[in-house]
Amino acid sequence: MDSANGGVVLTQPIGEKAAVEASDYTMSYVCRAMVERNRDGEDGAQPGLSPETLERVVAAVFRKSRESGFATVRLEELAREANLSATLLDKAVGGKCGLMTMMLHEVAEAIVAVLGRPPEAIGRDPVAHLGWFMTTHLALSEAMGDWFVFIFMEARSLPAPQRAMAVEIEEATDIYLAEILDAGRAAGCLRPDDPELMPLLIKPLLRDWYLKRAKYHRRGITPDRYAREVKRMVMAACGAASGAP
């Protein structure tokens, strides 16, 4: 669903089972989806890049972003690293802004497809839904860590339309968490002391995993271990029953 800034509205109803799993969102999978979307003309770019070529372009984006920031990167540099002509890349992705829009669109689609559609039985139980959401968010950030880090680090320097999309993506998890907590409060099974603040406190715990992945890796902390401890802390803070999923 398109928003006014060309992004994707992330507040659609939740409850349908996801057609794909978080772990499906590898670089290859996402780049194939980008090519298919462009082929249909959804993002306004011209077809012409294979998924493998687009993978090289996106990998160059992430590498250059880490080195100097995306704002300073020229399309010619990305084309050279992907072994393309700058003219072909420009036509295929619609320039730097077009490429950024395509990438943001895929992250937004992943959030809706995975985090916005819990299995039906889990969606009916707010406590189970909260635990599932945190575990699944961490799994998605494992698969799409470079994409998540890129958006978080580059959001402020993007042109206004793409910056608005990045902010919308960042806020999507806050909205989903607030909906889950509201459902839990209505059912009497979740009792956070500050319902308005709690989603904003959970989000940094989820974000820390992909922003500081190297630190946890050095200390031998696995995604499962991190997820268990985050869930234990959040469930306790939300007043969920001991032993909640």
Residue 87: band (very low, low, confident or very high) from pLDDT cuts 50, 70, 90:
very high
pLDDT-based confidence at residue 211 (cuts at 50, 70, 90): very high
pLDDT at 226 over 90: yes
pLDDT digits (tens, 9 = 90+) for 123-135: 999 999 999 999 9
Beta bridge partners of 226: none
pLDDT exceeding 70 applies to what percent of the chain?
87
Q: What is the pLDDT of residues 141-196, one digit of tens each?
A: 999 999 999 999 998 888 899 999 999 998 999 999 999 999 999 999 999 999 99
Average pLDDT over residues 133-139: 96
CB 100 within 8 A of CB 65: no
Packing angle of the helix pair 145-154, 160-187 (nearest 10 deg): 110
* Closest listed residue to residue 152, CA positions, set 136, 139, 141: 141
| Domains (range + CATH), the chain | 22-237 (1.10.357.10)
Distance CA 103, CA 33 (A): 10
pTM: 0.86
Radius of gyration from C-alpha coordinates of the chain? 19
What are phi and psi for residue 2, nearest 5 degrees? -85, 140
Of the pLDDT bands very low, low, confident and very high (cuts 50, 70, 90), residue 40 is low
* Average pLDDT in the chain: 87
Lowest mean pLDDT among 37-46, 49-58, 173-182: 37-46
* Residue 242 identity: S
Q: In this model, does residue 47 exceed pLDDT 90?
A: no
**Residues pairing with 2 in the sheet:** 8
pLDDT of residue 18 exceeding 50? no
